[in-house]
Copies of this chain bind each other. A is one copy, B any other.
Amino acid sequence: MNNLTIHLEAGTGTAMYEQLYEYLRNEIIDGKISQREKLPSTRFLATNLGVSRNTVDRAYQQLLAEGYIEAKPCSGYRVCDVTSLYLMKKEVDEERVKECSQVKEAFSGIDFTKGGIDLETFPLATWRKISRRVLQEDVSILETCNPLGEYKFRCVIADYLYRARGVVCTPEQIIVGAGNDYLLMLLTGILQGNHKVAMEKSSYEQARHILKQGGCEIVEVEADENGLQADELKQTDANLVYVMPSHQYPLGVVMPLTRRLELLEWAKEQNAYIIEDDYDSEFRYKGKPIPALQGYDKDGRVIYLGTFSKSIAPAIRVSYMVLPVELMDSYQKNGGMVSATVSKIQQETIRLFIKDGYFERHLNKMRNRYKEKRDCLLECIGDLRADWNIRGEDAGIHLLLEYPAVYGERLEVELRKAKIKIQRVGVKENYEALILNYGHLRKDELVQSGTILKKIINQL
């Protein structure tokens, strides 16, 4: 070591220290200062290099902290065994990365498969105003969040849920989280144990996946025109059921009250829970929104899930879960340690958006707009021949076009040729349907695609 020549460019103490540190580190990494070799004393090196002892000492301390050298009592510093070192020389395998990152080509036609919403009516100016107001507050807005969500935000949610959805709960039962997917993940932790979840064959794929991931076994149950069949459910040994009673995805079914009550009775008898995913219940075009199943539950068997992603914007990652009181202990024990997932700033912005009446106004505007879009699409499709039906058109932002399954293949091929992307789903024996998500499409796109669809149907 003593025979190494070190060239340092003159500079401030810190600059000299940096150079010396870098130099020594590289020498060690490259094996030029060999393992177990003793470093010169700080005094010796300082004199030799014409720098202060402090400069050398700082370089040694940094090397020591990073573990390149070690201090031996009464004998100075020695180089450690870092022969397997490869610091920052790794080359990223770009090819492999590209392969994995699955960059999909953007689709240029009309895409009915995306579950997006209409953003043109979004009151961005209002949102901006409220955001500014929220950030005018003191720094407490930046402090640690309550894992459940801020209390005053949950009060506003509880109030909204009661008024708009007939959900009966206290703010204490509400957990705010960054999206339904996350809340489902959290829920599998809260429920503990390996649950058997009954789901319709055609249901929300993401939920199925997350529940499975969380250790649940999925039990498929048949559905009819009223949704998941309670009789079939009773034949299984499921102790959890996942439903979307207000507007099932993808089939668009609105579960009637009698079926809902059957589910509640089953849950009570079996000591089971019902997960009610109320994802787009705000939009109903015929009559009033149908109250949530949770509102009918007197035995605390319903776990209610809702989201602002459909009603405000998909980029706003805020959902809420209402737990039955009985599950709150289990939340504290098994989920309470998970930190909050929604920033206080966002919680407060949404709270004011609701409290000051903007949310309700926005929902009304959206509801009208979606109704117009739906009407527009239905008008273009026009009257359908026998055995062809429109389903689930009275709520939400998607509807189904049902037809004898024999036409499915040709329908898809012809639509693909016309650059219209759709998804087919099996409905019942010999029948399937196109899932038409129309919320995010412009009216002119709906007219265009609806007209083409009509033409294709007529030529089948």
Contacts and interface: CB of A to CB of B under 8 A. Distances in A.
A332 B286 contact: no
Given A295-B88, A315-B142, A290 B255 contact: no
Interface string A244-284: 00000000001111111100110000000000000000000
Interface in A297-326: 297-298, 309, 313-318, 325
Interface string A96-127: 11101110000000000010100110101001
Contact of A254 (B65, B127, B325, B328): B65
Given A84-B265, A96-B325, A124-B139, 6 more contacts: A61-B286, A86-B296, A88-B295, A142-B316, A181-B337, A309-B339
Contacts of A344: 315
A191 to B, nearest CB: 11
A62 B290 CA distance: 8
Given A135-B127, A346-B346, A142 B119 contact: yes
Contacts of A255: 67
Nearest to A332: B102
Interface stretch (A165-173, A416-424, A446-454): A165-173
Nearest to A100: B328
Nearest to A92: B170
A144 interface: yes
A325 B258 contact: no
Nearest to A114: B144
B297 A90 contact: yes
29 contacts: A21-B287, A21-B288, A65-B254, A65-B256, A66-B257, A66-B290, A80-B257, A86-B297, A88-B168, A97-B173, A116-B144, A122-B142, A124-B139, A132-B132, A142-B313, A142-B314, A143-B313, A143-B314, A143-B315, A145-B314, A145-B315, A178-B342, A181-B341, A182-B341, A213-B334, A315-B344, A317-B340, A317-B343, A346-B346
A81 B258 contact: yes
Contacts of A141: 315
A421 to B, nearest CB: 16
Contacts of A66: 256-257, 290-291
A131 B135 contact: yes
A200 interface: no
A338 interface: yes
Interface stretch (A203-211, A381-389, A404-412): A203-211
Contact of A259 (B67, B88, B131, B258): B67
A59 to B, nearest CB: 9
A426 interface: no
Interface residues of A, number: 108
Interface string A45-82: 00000000000001001100111101000000000111
Nearest to A260: B67
Given A84-B264, A256-B80, A343 B315 contact: yes
A94 B170 contact: yes
A43 to B, nearest CB: 20
A9 interface: no
A150 to B, nearest CB: 10
A444 interface: no
Closest 10 CB pairs of A and B: A67-B256, A67-B257, A178-B341, A62-B287, A142-B313, A100-B328, A101-B172, A315-B344, A178-B178, A144-B314
A4 interface: no
Contact of A166 (B87, B172, B213): B87
B209 A337 contact: yes
A398 B263 CA distance: 52
Nearest to A207: B337
Contacts of A119: 139, 142-143
Contacts of A345: 315-316, 346
A179 interface: yes
Contact of A122 (B139, B189, B334): B139
A85 interface: yes
A429 interface: no
Question: Which of A82, A114, A128, A179 has its CB near the most chain B CB atoms (within 10 A)?
Answer: A179
Contacts of A179: 339-341
